[in-house]
Structure 1
Amino acid sequence: MYGTAPSDTEVWEEWNPTEESVAVRGRHRVAKQRGGLARSSTVLGVGVIAAVGAGGMASAQTKPPVSISLPDSVADNLPDVKSLPGVGTLIADLAGDDERDDTPADRADRAVAAAPLTMAGVFGADAEKGATGAGEALRARILQQAEHQQADAEAEARAVAQKAAAESAAREAKAASSAAEQKAAAEKKAAEEAAAKKAEEARLAELAKSFSLPVGSYTITSTFGEAGSMWSSGHHTGLDFAAPTGTPLKAIHGGTVKSAGWSGSYGYRTVIELSDGTELWYCHQSSIAVSAGQQVSTGDTIGRVGATGNVTGPHLHLEVHTPGGTGIDPMGWLRSKGLNP
């Protein structure tokens, strides 16, 4: 038929290779393959797959599909067709009845695989949340990350606030405990002091039963330590009980009469020594009723008030000396015995 023009009666048909094994020039031929897809060494196969994945841009129009075969060396290096976005719907029949056992993640992966190329970079988790594009998925992830950071910041702030509140409560509790302890300690101390005072009063009251004031009716005219030129030492060495001449003088406590007689500026004087060595001096008496070596008891009359010696009027000049001979304040000593001059 070469060089011969077609006649008006001849009908020309468009060449259409089909699966009936129409021969092709060169090394390539068409062979029937299972599943509607074949292998070929041409780049046409890759172009067809890419065109279909881009959203069905390539179309067979009214022609029957053509199976293309590829050498194994090329086919083995091609990506899995199910992983290409947009191609998933073309191989839905491969899933079969197994879809009934799919997990939500499997269904999300199929949704991504069936989506157009604009869903590249969209994970299954993004698809489950309704993301349909890489930009939207990225935005959703950023928002989710911001929410997590905000939640972490709020949790940290709550932890800091709780710690501060706990520390403040601990300080307040410690302060309250300290105040309560101080109050309890003060109350305890006051109670102990009151008890001690009461006990001392009871002791002195009991002790006073064995002691007596030297004069029944008197007036204190001079106290221990007063300064004045009328005393040879320059200060008063005793306690003066002013009373009328002849007023009885009593033994303050039981003891032994150490001396009784005249003693210069002291006039008539009686010295009584107590069991602990303390000496009591009764001076300026008008008369003496005891003698040296005599034992006396509390309240015994030992003499009478007078104005003998260096005096300005009738009175008892009482001095108290320690066992070592030191003169002390008679007022303090009497009070230590439960007496109150």
Structure 2
Amino acid sequence: MASNKPAPEAPSPFATGNFGDSDRTWEEWNPTEESIRPVRGRHRVAKQRGLARSSTVLGVGVIAAVGAGGMATAQSKPPVSISLPDSLAASLPDAKSLPGVGSFLSDDEDKKPVATAPLTSAGITDAEAEQGTTDPGEALRARILQQAEQQQASADAEAKAAEEKAAAEKAAAEAKKQQDKAEAKAAAEKKKAEEAAKKKAEAERLAKLAASYALPTSSYSITSTYGQSGTMWSSGHHTGLDFAAQSGTPVKAVHSGTVKSAGYSGAYGYRTVLVLDDGTEIWYCHQSSMNVSAGQKVSTGDTIGRVGATGNVTGAHLHLEVRTPGGSAIDPMSWLRSKGLTV
């Protein structure tokens, strides 16, 4: 009786893992969560430091340009023939019989490359296309070289600007130094001129004073000065200035003023006290005679008496004293010189 059972199916090589090549058993791959878990986390790349920006970019640009040039050169090289074993080559189908390929081949061009132009124009800009550039690698290389040249030009411009700035600062410093030197010289010359003008003005002032002041006598010699110490003076030091001259030599008013007193005064002998307009008193002592009286007005150079040897003296001379309005004695020689007189 015929059986209705279906014939047993041949075991599938994918189920048994036996493909006829060997007796190996293939295990089923079961992807798990662990095996397909995506890698998480941030990957940080340490920045390189210590290199000049322009030099680094230029170096990287040159390397990239050389690489791009290599790519362009590799695309332009002719195809290289590949040899296959005869057993394998005989079993391969004819290239012309392949769908979509046979139409590109002909009997006369079996050994010629299908195309020598690039398979794609990706990466070529419109401007480069207008210039006739059709090779992406060459275009990339040209752009990298252009960027490198621009960066180098920028670095050169910055270096030149820094040099110009340093030169300008140096020139400004030198100019300031010269200006300071000139100002110092001008200040010194100004100070010198001011000092000269001051001396000139003082000389003019003394000359003007000298015209209004006069020496108390003439044909004299200085025998004793103010402050000189000795036992001849009751105070222990000399309080005036002695003009030794012949007896009878005229005694003159040193400046205009009013006679305060005129008479005999002990050790001073005949003495005349003349009060000037500013209150200064001039004492004329040891006179042989007097030509004025108290209250009389006199002018510069008027004769008020004669040189003598009255009072406590050792010879004929004029003893001249100068006293302040308060009565203190001062050096007559310094006072006369302050009025422009040469003693």
Same fold (TM over 0.5): yes
Question: Which of 108, 111, 121 is 2:135 aligned to?
Answer: 111
3-state DSSP of counterpart to 2:271: strand
Q: Please give the per-residue CA displacement for 1:49-100, whole angstroms capped at 9, x wherever unaligned.
A: xxxx99375899996474439xxxxxxxxxxxxxxxx9672769x9xxxxxx
3-state DSSP of counterpart to 2:117: helix
Q: Counterparts of 1:1-341 in structure 2 under 5 Å?
A: 55=79, 64=96, 66-68=98-100, 89=117, 103-105=127-129, 110-112=134-136, 122=137, 124-126=139-141, 128=142, 144=148, 148=151, 152=155, 158-341=160-343
Alignment check: 8 A CA contact 1:105 1:124 kept: no
> What value does the CA root-mean-square deviation take over the aligned residues?
3.9
3-state DSSP of counterpart to 1:309: coil
Alignment check: 8 A CA contact 2:118 2:135 kept: no
Name the aligned partner's letter for residue 210 of structure 1.
S
Query: C-alpha separation between the residues in 2 aligned to 1:211 and 1:254?
Result: 8
Name the aligned partner's letter for residue 328 of structure 1.
I
Name the aligned partner's letter for residue 110 of structure 1.
T
Change (3 A) 1:318 1:164: farther
* Percent identical: 59
Change (3 A) 1:319 1:141: same
Residue 5 of structure 2 corresponds to none
Name the aligned partner's letter for residue 171 of structure 2.
A
Change (3 A) 1:230 1:168: farther
Query: C-alpha separation between the residues in 1 aligned to 2:212 and 2:160?
Result: 77
Name the aligned partner's letter for residue 200 of structure 2.
K
Name the aligned partner's letter for residue 68 of structure 1.
G
Bigger relative CO (Cα 8 Å, ≥ 6 apart): 2
Q: TM-score, normalised by structure 2?
A: 0.59
Query: C-alpha separation between the residues in 2 aligned to 1:262 and 1:249?
Result: 16
In the alignment of these two chains, the number of paired residues is: 244
What displacement does 1:300 show? 1.3
Greater shift, 196-205 or 273-282, is seen at 196-205
Query: C-alpha separation between the residues in 2 aligned to 1:90 and 1:339?
Result: 117
Q: TM-score, normalised by structure 1?
A: 0.60
Q: Please give the per-residue CA displacement for 1:81-136, whole angstroms capped at 9, x wherever unaligned.
A: xxxxx9672769x9xxxxxxx74356675224xxxxxxxxx45141x49xxxxxxx
What displacement does 1:167 show? 3.1
Long gaps (5+) in structure 1: 1-52, 70-85, 95-101, 113-121, 130-136
